[in-house]
C-alpha cells in the first residue's frame, strides 16, 4: 500500500486525492476481504502513506477534490476524466459518463457528478453491505444532503483504515511490514553507482547519501511501531529495489527479512532459478549480521495484477490453486515450499469485477478447501522453518526488469538526481544545525521514488506537472530553510 507525499511544504492540502480515494475504495475493501476470508496475508504500508492517513483523520490534511472545499481545477479534473470514475463492473446502475460530465456545468449536474464520484470511489464491500449506500446508488438525481452524507462516509472510511489493519495484526490474522519512509529507491540513495551494474551503458549521475538511506529505514521502523503498536519484522524495499549495500542498511537496522522479485534471483544466479531455489527463503550476510531475503513468483504475481481480471472469478482462483498444487507435487525437500506473491495493493482492482470482491471470495474459499495448501504470513513461515542456505550473491536491481532504469539513466531523471545532489551539498555546508535539519526534512521527501518515476520515458499521466511541482517545491524549501538562494531551475 503506497502513495507518495502529495502536499507542498507547509501546506495542509494534498494536490491530488489518491491517498483518500485509494483508502475509501481499495484499502477498505482489502481489509474487509481479509476479515471475511479467514486467510492470513502480509500487508505492507509505506510510512509516508500512513502519516497522510493520520493527518487526514485529525483534520490537518485534506484535498480539494471534495465539494466542501473544491477548487475549479479539481472539479475540472472530474469533468475531463483526469480523475476517473471507476464504475465499470461495479454493480452500479448503467451510467452515461459523457452525459454526466456534459451536464456538470449546471447546479444539478455538478451535484450529480460529485455524488457519482463518491459512489465510484467507495469500497465495494461498503456499498454492498450498507443500506444507505445501496439506496443512494439507485438514485438518478441527488440532493445537497446526499452529497454531504457521501463526503462524511468517505471521511469515516478513511479514518477507519489503520485501526482495522492494526486490529487484525494484533489478533495475529495478518502480518504488517513497512517500506523506507518516503519510498526511496534505497540502492540509489546509498550510491547511485549501483545502477551501473545493471545499466552499464546508461549515463548515471553521481549521488551518495548512505546516511539518508539509514534514516529512511530508521524513521520507517519508528513510525510503523507508533502507528500499529509493534515493530515490523520485515520490510518491502520500495519497488523491490535491492543491492548488497542496501541490504546492509536493513541488516544494521535489525530488519529480519526483506522481499524482492524473482528476476533478482535469476540475475544473482546468472540463470533462471529452479523451483527449489525460487520457493525458499535465503540467508544473506549483511555486515556483521544477516537478513533473510525472499523472492516473489513474478509469473503468479503478474497473473493477479494483469491477467485474472479478464477471467471468471472461479476460473482464476482455480487456475492459481492448481498452480500451487503443481508446485507442491513436484517438491522434494523436507521444508515445504514458500510461494511468495507480492503486488500493488491498489491499481489491479480497478479492472476486476466488483473491485476484486468476487475474485477474493473465490480464491479464499478455494484455499480454505485445499488442506494441502497453507496460506501463511512471511514471519509465520520463517518462525516454523527458517532459512538454511545462503544466496551466493545479490544482483542490484528492482522488480521492474531487474534494473533501475525506471528511476535513473534518462536525461530528465538524471537532471533531478543532479538537483538533489546539489541540494545535499548545499545543506552539508550550512553552519546552522537546526536549519540544516529543517532543510534535510525536505530533502528526504524529494528522495522518494515517485518523482523520478514520472520523469522517465516509460510513464505518462495528466498530472506529471504536479509531481514535478512537488519535487521542485521540496528542494526549493530546503534552500529556504538553509537561508540560501533558490536556484532558478527550482523556482516557480
Residues 106 and 187 in one domain: no
As a whole number, mean pLDDT of residues 266-287 equals 96
- Strand ranges, E, within 267-342: 282-286, 289-296
- Give this prediction's pTM: 0.96
Q: Is the pLDDT of residue 228 over 90?
A: yes
Read off the C-alpha cell for 1. 500500500
* CA–CA distance, 321 with 490 (Å, rounded to integer): 52
3-state SS, residue 70: coil
Number of independent structural domains in the chain: 3
Asked if pLDDT for residue 306 goes beyond 90, the answer is yes
b/e per residue, 32-53, with b = 16+ CB within 10 A? bbbeebebbbbbbbbbbbbbbb
The pLDDT of 220-234, averaged and rounded, is 98
pLDDT band at 262 (very low <50, low <70, confident <90, very high): very high
The SS3 call for residue 210 is: helix
Length of the chain, in residues:
492
| CA pair distance 189, 197, nearest whole angstrom | 15
pLDDT of residue 491: 85
Band (116; pLDDT cuts 50, 70, 90): very high
d(CA 411, CA 489): 15
For the chain, percent helix, then strand, then coil, each to nearest 5? 55, 10, 35
User: Do 64 and 101 lie in a common domain?
Assistant: yes
Bridge partners (DSSP) of residue 170 are: none
- Residue in 62, 57, 29, 24 with CA at minimum distance from that of residue 43: 29
pLDDT at 186 exceeding the cut of 70: yes
Distance, CA of 98 to chain centre: 31
pLDDT of residue 460: 83
Rounded (10°) angle between helices 107-120 and 144-170: 10
Domain final position from 108, 136, 170: 170
Q: d(Cα 268, Cα 188) in Å, to the nearest integer?
A: 18
pLDDT 10s digits, 369-386: 999 999 999 999 999 999
Angle among Cα 123, 153, 350 to the nearest 5 degrees reads 20
- Segment 388-415 shows an average pLDDT of 96
**Cβ atoms of residues 282 and 391 within 8 Å:** yes
Mean pLDDT of the chain: 96
Query: What's the grid cell of residue 363?
Result: 480464491
Three-class SS state of 489? helix
Mean of the pLDDT values across residues 221-239? 98
CATH of the domain at 308: 3.20.110.20
* Residue 289 clears pLDDT 90, i.e. is over it: no
Q: Are residues 218 and 347 in the same domain?
A: yes
236 located within any domain: yes
Give the model's confidence band at 127: pLDDT under 50 very low, under 70 low, under 90 confident, else very high: very high
- Per DSSP, the three-state class of 39 is coil
Instruction: Tell me: do 154 and 59 sit in the same domain.
Output: yes
pLDDT of residue 454 exceeding 70, the answer is yes
Q: CA 321, CA 298: separation in Å to the nearest integer?
A: 16
Owning domain of residue 104? 13-25+48-170
Picking from 170, 195, 227, the residue at the C-terminal end of a domain is 170
Mark whether 183 and 331 lie in a shared domain.
yes
Instruction: Report strand pairing: 257-261 vs 282-286.
Output: unpaired
Percentage of the chain exceeding pLDDT 90: 95
Q: Do 282 and 246 lie in a common domain?
A: yes
Same-domain pairing of 121 and 262: no
Residue 420 pLDDT level (bands cut at 50, 70, 90): very high
- What's the pLDDT score for residue 492? 67
Which one of 139, 170, 201 terminates a domain? 170
Amino acid at each position: 500500500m503506497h502513495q507518495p507525499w502529495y502536499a507542498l511544504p507547509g501546506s495542509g492540502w494534498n494536490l491530488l486525492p489518491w491517498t483518500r480515494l485509494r483508502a475509501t475504495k481499495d484499502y477498505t475493501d482489502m481489509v474487509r476481504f481479509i476479515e471475511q476470508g479467514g486467510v492470513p496475508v502480509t500487508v505492507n504500508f509505506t510510512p509516508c502513506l500512513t502519516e497522510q492517513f493520520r493527518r487526514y483523520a485529525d483534520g490537518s490534511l485534506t484535498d480539494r477534490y471534495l465539494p466542501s472545499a473544491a477548487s475549479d481545477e479539481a472539479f475540472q479534473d472530474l469533468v475531463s476524466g483526469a480523475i476517473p470514475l471507476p464504475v465499470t463492473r461495479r454493480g452500479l446502475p448503467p451510467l452515461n459518463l459523457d452525459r454526466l460530465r456534459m451536464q456538470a456545468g449546471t447546479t444539478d449536474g455538478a451535484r450529480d457528478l460529485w455524488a457519482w464520484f463518491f459512489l465510484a470511489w467507495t469500497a465495494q464491500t461498503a456499498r454492498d453491505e450498507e443500506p444507505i449506500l445501496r439506496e443512494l446508488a439507485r438514485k438518478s438525481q441527488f440532493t445537497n444532503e446526499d452529497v454531504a452524507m457521501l463526503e462524511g462516509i468517505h471521511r469515516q472510511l478513511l479514518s477507519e483504515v489503520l485501526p482495522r489493519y492494526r486490529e487484525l495484526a494484533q489478533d495475529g490474522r495478518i502480518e504488517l511490514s513497512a517500506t523506507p519512509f518516503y519510498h526511496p529507491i534505497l540502492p540509489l540513495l546509498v550510491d547511485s553507482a549501483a545502477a551501473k551494474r545493471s545499466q552499464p551503458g546508461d549515463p548515471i549521475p553521481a549521488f551518495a547519501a548512505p546516511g539518508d538511506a539509514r534514516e529512511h529505514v530508521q524513521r520507517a521502523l519508528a513510525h510503523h511501531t507508533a502507528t500499529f503498536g509493534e515493530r515490523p519484522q520485515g520490510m518491502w524495499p520500495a519497488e523491490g529495489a535491492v543491492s548488497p549495500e542496501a541490504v546492509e542498511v536493513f541488516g544494521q537496522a535489525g530488519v529480519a527479512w526483506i522481499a524482492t522479485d524473482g528476476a533478482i534471483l535469476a540475475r544473482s544466479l546468472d540463470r533462471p532459478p529452479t523451483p527449489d531455489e525460487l520457493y525458499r527463503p535465503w540467508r544473506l550476510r549483511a555486515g556483521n549480521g544477516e537478513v533473510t531475503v525472499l523472492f516473489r513468483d513474478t509469473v503468479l504475481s503478474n497473473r493477479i495484477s494483469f491477467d485474472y481480471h479478464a477471467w471468471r472469478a472461479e476460473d482464476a482462483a482455480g487456475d492459481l490453486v492448481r498452480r500451487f498444487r503443481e508446485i507442491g507435487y513436484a517438491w522434494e525437500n523436507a521444508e515445504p515450499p514458500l510461494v511468495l506473491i507480492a503486488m500493488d495493493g491498489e491499481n489491479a482492482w480497478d479492472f476486476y469485477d466488483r473491485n476484486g470482491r468476487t475474485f477474493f471470495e473465490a480464491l479464499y474459499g478455494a484455499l480454505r478447501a485445499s488442506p494441502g495448501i497453507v496460506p501463511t504470513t512471511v514471519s509465520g513461515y520463517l518462525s516454523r522453518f527458517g532459512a538454511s542456505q545462503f544466496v551466493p550473491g545479490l544482483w542490484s536491481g528492482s522488480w521492474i526488469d531487474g534494473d533501475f532504469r525506471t528511476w535513473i539513466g534518462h536525461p530528465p531523471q538524471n537532471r533531478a538526481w543532479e538537483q538533489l545532489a546539489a541540494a545535499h551539498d548545499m545543506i552539508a555546508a550550512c553552519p546552522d544545525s537546526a536549519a540544516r535539519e529543517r532543510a534535510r526534512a525536505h530533502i528526504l521527501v524529494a528522495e522518494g521514488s515517485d518523482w523520478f518515476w514520472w520523469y522517465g520515458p516509460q510513464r505518462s499521466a495528466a498530472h506529471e506537472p504536479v509531481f514535478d511541482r512537488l519535487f521542485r517545491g521540496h528542494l526549493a524549501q530546503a534552500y529556504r530553510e538553509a537561508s540560501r538562494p533558490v536556484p532558478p531551475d527550482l523556482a516557480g
